[in-house]
Amino acid sequence: MYQNILVPIAFDTDRDTSGPLKLAQLLASPEAKITLLHVVEHIPGYAISYMPQDYLKAARDAIQEQLDDMAATIPNATGVVIEGHSGRSILDWAESNLPDLIIIASHRPGMQDLLLGSTASQVVRHAACAVHVVR
């Protein structure tokens, strides 16, 4: 049983978050802390000028609300939104907060993933704790 579980959440349309959340509940000890983490990727400067000024705040607030709704269904869970590159930011957060397990969803790899790598593979290769990948 794990005491501190990190579950990175992506809100892509092809991602199913139910698997990682169920697994987190199964592997968590009764008093375990579960963190649902979403990384907001940086928007390039040339693109941000075409967006409304309050877009980033509104998007971040909407994501936090979704995470809070998800966390409300899991004992001792909290939602956290951070900014940065997905793989690096997940690893940096894990280094600072020391989870003993990361449960991350992954899609079926394609040619692009073989050439560029994916967030899940980056986390698996560089995390200092156990990582469980869910497809």
**Residues 8, 12, 15, 21: is their CA dihedral positive or negative?**
positive
pLDDT digits (tens, 9 = 90+) for 103-114: 999 876 665 555
Nearest Cα to 27, choosing from 55, 43, 8, 6? 6
The third-level CATH classification (topology) of the domain covering 2-134 is Rossmann fold (3.40.50)
26: phi then psi, degrees, rounded to nearest 5: -70, -35
Instruction: Write the DSSP assignment of 25-59 as a string of letters.
Output: HHHEEEEEEEEEEEEEPPPPHHHHTTS-TTHHHHH
pLDDT value of position 109: 62
pLDDT digits (tens, 9 = 90+) for 54-93: 888 999 999 999 999 999 999 999 999 999 999 999 999 9
Q: Where are the domains of the chain?
A: 2-134
